[in-house]
Amino acid sequence: MSRSFALNLFVCAGLSLAGAAWAQGADTPADAINPLIGSTNGGNTFPGAVLPFGMLQWSPENTRGRHTHTASPSGYEYNATRIRGFSITHLSGAGCAGASGDVPFMPITQAVTSSPSADLKDTTYATDFTHQNEKAKAGDYRVTLADGVQVELGAAMRSGMASFTYPSGKPANLLIRASDSEVGSSDADVQVDQASGTISGSVTSGNFCGYLAKADQRSYYTLYYVAHFDRPFTAVGAWENDSVKPGQTSAKGGTGYGDKGFPEPGKGSGAWVSFDPSKGPVTVRVGISYVSLANAKANLDAEIPASTTLAQLHESARKAWNDALGRIAIDGGTPDQRATFYTALYHVLMHPNVYSDVNGEYRGFDQKTHRVEGSQKIQYANFSGWDIYRSHLQLVTWLFPKIGSDIAQSLYNQAKQNDGEWDRWTHNSGGTHVMSGDPAVPALADIWVFGGHDFDLKGAYASLVKAATVPTVHDSSDDGCNVECVGQRPSLDQWLKLHYIATQSHAWAGAAETLEDVTADFALSQLAAQVGDKAGEKQFLTRAGYWRNIFNPNAAPEGGYIQNRNADGSWPAFKPESDDGFVEGSAAVYLWMIPFDVHGLFEKLGGYPKATARLDRFFHDDNGKWALTKAGPLHSELDNEPSVAAPWLYDFAGQPYKTQESVRIVVNSLWKNTPDGIPGNDDLGEMSSWYVWSALGFYPEIPGRAELVLGSPLFTKAVVHRQGGDLVVDAPQAGTDVPFVHAVTLNGKTHNKPWFPASVIEHGGHVQFTLQSSADTAWGSDLKNAPPSFGPPHS
């Protein structure tokens, strides 16, 4: 394959090739990837073939024997060793009951005598497999099923290839489960053209987290697909619901979403084709589009010409991943640590996804066709805002400023097409409203300060200001609550009047919503500064201080807590272990979630000694053992977002050695090169981004700011390649059990602060860590050198 063809697969997404030139057969970042990491224990990753930020993700759909319920939200669960299809779209690390998983292709070795949609326990048209017969690499997935069918999958940006090798002496059939998206569909159609060896169709779906509330039991995207086969069809057939129609070349009908947000048992449609197994492997090229069949065909023709082999596609994917992952080169560490690191970066670079076609068209939130304009190259989709504003978008933008810029413009485009509302969790061309807060604000602020400047900042800022100051009908609606409250700023009228979100509101949880809103307002103050709005900067920085209105200094014997507050100003009954007023966490967890005003929080807690003593108890049980996750509601949950910033808070209190120790114990114990190697939902790469930052030795603690608080490097050397200048991190003594910092130099000068200024992000430089196995309690202990904190402005 020519080098130019390989480039075409991913340069269009904004990935340049200015990184290392990896030799054929060398030990490269892509070769270190283990796509099975996180595929059980709730990580919810998938092992299939995908390019960086790819629109198409071709991966298995596993089953536990319930046709209407996927085995995992990603479609793949390591311990569910039965496959019912290989779908062409997936999300990595999401929760709820699944999303996408569209158009499963399922090879079978028996005749189709009953409807696959009526196979309610997946006993007939699903097949077992073993992990010994499975191989997953970056952009390359292979498995031999128990019935002898060999499956190989590969991916380009908006297209993919598969090969099915059938055993001799058995029927060779392929099901196209047109309607069987992971959480169902409202409509689907499929057509078989025997003359051209083509199958095409569409599926209309959505329904992310729809089982939790009626607000999301709806469709909001249509996926179009065209599949070209290299072998003639010897027979065809189709089914609709329980009706099987041999010889028919088309079918139509979705599964519906039922009364409870799951596919209706027995409903659905699809088609099958038969092959002569003696003629060798069957290869299919598939193109997809969220706009039209014509665009799906154009995407396929542009990315995978008819002469392309699957081996060529696999090699192109390997090159694409090496160029993307090679933005960070590491030395040292064990093979398992290298695999964990590069797989975490691999998961970071899966989302958001390319959503526009090769001609620039995409389906907007208004369900109309749009085209990218101006300097925007790509429209992106799939934005789990509550998760990825914390550290994911910072990493993506730092490595790929143009991609970060296009993500920001994509979010603004979505809002303009959505009556000015910025949804907090967007899936393809629809908003799902899942989770809490207004994460688009810190997301855009993160992108800007980490180098993504090529988007309409002034227009986006004006839109966000309006959303933060003018209540909407949705802001005053209970639709979707608790998990999917439809407002961008739920109970904004209450926020403007009371300066907090009360116990009774139109939000999921009052105290948690207040903390998310103050983070959003702090980020909005930073955007105001960027556009030169001094009044707005002061206004929103003042609003960022509203967290003090839900800090009850007498909440518990050990001291104050963030807690729910009634609209009349009174405090309801309270227990620190309670999750009343909070989202996926307790009051003990949320106490520490004020990342932009840490010094203000410590002051409220009675000063630094008292604050750090409480942090110590948060990370340890009564016996002094680490309490990192599942140790009870009074302790940290470092498998989920509300806790991930907490270990870095010691840097603000003159005890950075405790940050170094606690971060390293998390890196060493909760992250592994195994299927259970991600401690919780990876949330479209957010948790993996935390690992990447932590292994490098620093972290973007404050949303909307580019300062980095320090831990310690896991690897002896890391080089972050960037257009603005490389960052070289040397730590010769680094190792698994060597977490403590004794000294740091920045560009050759002694650096005694447990944080780096924003210039490191902007310009790079050379950092030298001197590490040791015992704590150096003196380094970074001077509070005058603590990281910055941002309280309300002085009047």
Alpha-carbon distance 424 to 520, whole Å? 12
Q: Which residues contact 115 (CB under 8 A, 6 or more apart)?
A: 239, 241, 242, 243, 244, 266
Q: Which two tokens stand for residue 319?
A: 């090159």
pLDDT at residue 724 in the model = 86
- Name the DSSP letter for residue 586: -
Q: Which residues contact 294 (CB under 8 A, 6 or more apart)?
A: none
Q: Which residues contact 470 (CB under 8 A, 6 or more apart)?
A: 492
Rounded to a whole number of angstroms, the distance between the first and last alpha carbons of the chain is 66
Give pLDDT tens digits for 193-236: 999 999 999 999 999 999 999 999 999 999 999 999 999 999 99
For 139-157, b/e burial (b = at least 16 CB within 10 A) is: bbbbbbbeebbbbbbbbbb
Q: Which residues contact 120 (CB under 8 A, 6 or more apart)?
A: 66, 67, 68, 265, 266
Alpha-carbon distance 795 to 528, whole Å? 18
Alpha-carbon distance 333 to 656, whole Å? 23
Give pLDDT tens digits for 347-391: 999 999 999 999 999 999 999 999 999 999 999 999 999 999 999
Q: How confident is the model at residue 27 (pLDDT cuts 50, 70, 90)?
A: confident
Query: Is the predicted pLDDT of residue 442 greater than 70, yes or no?
Result: yes
The mean pLDDT of 23-42, rounded to a whole number, is: 85
pLDDT at residue 794 in the model = 73
Measured CA to CA in angstroms, residue 226 lies from 49, 251, 332, 381 at distances of: 18, 15, 45, 21
Q: How confident is the model at residue 7 (pLDDT cuts 50, 70, 90)?
A: very low
pLDDT at residue 41 in the model = 81
Alpha-carbon distance 193 to 337, whole Å? 49
DSSP class per residue in 292-343 = -HHHHHHHHHHHS-TT--HHHHHHHHHHHHHHHHTTEEEE-S-HHHHHHHHH
Query: Is the predicted pLDDT of residue 10 greater than 80, yes or no?
Result: no
- Name the DSSP letter for residue 210: G
Q: How confident is the model at residue 1 (pLDDT cuts 50, 70, 90)?
A: very low
Q: Which two tokens stand for residue 545?
A: 């201080």
The mean pLDDT of 546-550, rounded to a whole number, is: 98
Alpha-carbon distance 195 to 616, whole Å? 71
Q: How confident is the model at residue 15 (pLDDT cuts 50, 70, 90)?
A: low
- Name the DSSP letter for residue 49: B
Q: Which two tokens stand for residue 144?
A: 């031999």
CA angle 450, 456, 461 (to 5 degrees): 80
Alpha-carbon distance 611 to 753, whole Å? 20
Q: Which residue has the higher pLDDT, 3 or 83?
A: 83
Nearest to 604 by CA among 552, 647, 654, 655: 552
Give pLDDT tens digits for 483-514: 999 999 999 999 999 999 999 999 999 999 99
Alpha-carbon distance 699 to 768, whole Å? 17
Give pLDDT tens digits for 236-290: 999 999 999 999 999 999 999 999 999 999 999 999 999 999 999 999 999 999 9
CA dihedral 670→673→675→681, nearest 10 degrees, is: 40
Query: Is the predicted pLDDT of residue 300 greater than 60, yes or no?
Result: yes
Q: Per DSSP, which regions of 510-575 are E strands?
A: 551-556, 559-562
Nearest to 324 by CA among 8, 693, 53, 4: 53
Give pLDDT tens digits for 745-764: 999 999 999 999 999 999 99
Nearest to 562 by CA among 570, 553, 438, 600: 553
Give pLDDT tens digits for 635-694: 999 999 999 999 999 999 999 999 999 999 999 999 999 999 999 999 999 999 999 999
pLDDT at residue 416 in the model = 98
For 163-172, b/e burial (b = at least 16 CB within 10 A) is: bbbbeeeeeb
- Name the DSSP letter for residue 166: P
Cα 627 off chain centre by: 26
Across 41-45, 131-135, 392-396, least confident range: 41-45
Alpha-carbon distance 325 to 346, whole Å? 7
Q: Are 661 and 668 in contact (CB under 8 A)?
A: no
pLDDT at residue 709 in the model = 98
HSE value, Cβ hemisphere, 13 Å, CA-based, for 756: 28
Alpha-carbon distance 511 to 100, whole Å? 32
